[in-house]
Chain A
């Protein structure tokens, strides 16, 4: 298994998609901060509203004594936006490429049926991909913080700043592990790149609407139970994760659901990988 991990590490080092995702993160983060700066200039009247597609609503326009927008939007808020949307989208696409790539190229045939148990092969692929996804999210966090320091100045640096960033990013990356596991499972089921990407993005975009409907149903059927499906679905947990002052109840639920979803996706993936023929 250690050898298989070494092989996966080598593949990751050579995977263009990994570096492209990192670059896309960097570009997007710069664009987000750039937009905030442009919005601030509009607020101050230094630029016309709507320039370069950036529009500031009337309510947000500067009034006497109001904080400039750039000062209002914290690094943590930018990180929150990145994590709950762009970060998980990009990471899901990377996972689909990394997992399905083995089937598309036929490289999986080089290890299956070569004296190694199939479940071990899948466990290695799963754990390494989940690890790579965590690395990607970590890189995104570091880039967001670095860009934040560059744009907002070193004045924001302090123990509190890093504590808050570490707490939020820690919880989100942990939840990201479970989401990555689910995408690995989906990719294993599909074994087709466009299907894996489409279904993965579909899960990220529409699953919350589904849990919302289920919540409505639960509220109607069991009005006193206070049960909500969205409390247990990983995408909802990522979207609803508070950026500050994470309550212990949420944290506990996040930890338990991360373990549950990892266990489910891993077991499902092993079952499918063991059962399905390699084309």
Chain B
């Protein structure tokens, strides 16, 4: 597996406050990694460390499989917190500053403005931009050096629904057409679930879980959850007597059945008659938002 970003026990301490605590992140090449956490969970601090804006107190960061971060960060573009743009300049002038700072060829500015849909902004100063325009400019700034890896901190914050769709489509285009890997944090979980291929959940500075989008679907699937005393016996009854193949055993003595949910009573009866003691039997499964909230610690 090729990774664009791996971290090993990355920690950041401010005074006595451990803002990021031994984070081990694994971000695959070509993925869109949704980084989820509440305010103050440590998302931005972690992203700033990856982007080279803050130094980790402990731990190692590897970019593109290398620890030569100064060199590898040439391939990273970032939009962290706010777009780094001069308010009294136009979008073009802002990109021109960066173009000159990095010795990028001149046509790059216009083509980037066109790509993010800011070409028509013309002589409008950034201070007069809408939130969506500012975010698009921030993305243009991050993209100007043709990065392979993009770090975006809350890029859809404060956008109206139209702006959110624009940014979503832009990110999908970048990922599909330019093969750019994207690490993105957002509070709008439903929106994130429309683009992310992988997720990382951070809570109080600790990366509590990392999983793929398909795994998320599985976790959120509606199922009959049964807590039994004999898992193997129960599994045998499900397969042989009830011909149920769609089930799994996520934990000891726990079975999740995804098929024939309308026949839950019959399933319970068959298990009991087969000599299995059922301690609990209930329907489980949530929408994405509910599942995330549970992971983030908002739901007890």
Contacts and interface: CB of A to CB of B under 8 A. Distances in A.
Interface of A: 3-4, 6-7, 9-11, 14, 16, 101, 105-117, 277-278
Contacts of A111: 98, 101
A11 to B, nearest CB: 6
B168 interface: no
7 contacts: A7-B97, A10-B97, A14-B86, A16-B88, A105-B84, A107-B97, A113-B53
A110 B101 contact: yes
Contact of B84 (A7, A9, A10, A109): A109
A249 B98 CA distance: 46
A14 B123 CA distance: 13
Interface of B: 48, 51-55, 70-71, 73-74, 76, 78, 80-89, 93, 96-98, 100-103, 141, 145
B150 to A, nearest CB: 13
A10 to B, nearest CB: 5
Which of A16, A106, A277 has the most B CB atoms < 10 Å from its CB?
A: A106
A102 B78 CA distance: 16
B101 A106 contact: no
A106 B52 contact: no
Please name the 7 residue pairs, one residue from A and one from B, whose CB atoms are nearest each other, closest first: A113-B52, A7-B101, A115-B74, A106-B84, A277-B54, A278-B53, A3-B103
B101 A4 contact: yes
Contacts of A114: 52, 73-74, 76, 102, 145
B127 to A, nearest CB: 10
Given A109-B84, A110-B101, A277-B48, 15 more contacts: A3-B103, A6-B101, A7-B98, A10-B97, A10-B100, A106-B81, A106-B83, A107-B84, A112-B52, A112-B53, A113-B51, A113-B53, A114-B74, A277-B54, A277-B55
A106 B82 CA distance: 7
Contacts of A101: 86
A56 B78 CA distance: 62
A139 to B, nearest CB: 21
A127 to B, nearest CB: 15
Nearest to B138: A106
B101 A108 contact: no
A108 B83 CA distance: 11
A14 B89 contact: yes
A111 B97 CA distance: 11
B100 A106 contact: no
A113 B73 contact: yes
B97 A11 contact: yes
A126 to B, nearest CB: 16
Given A3-B103, A14-B93, A105-B85, A110 B98 contact: yes
Given A110-B141, A112-B52, A277-B54, A7 B85 contact: no
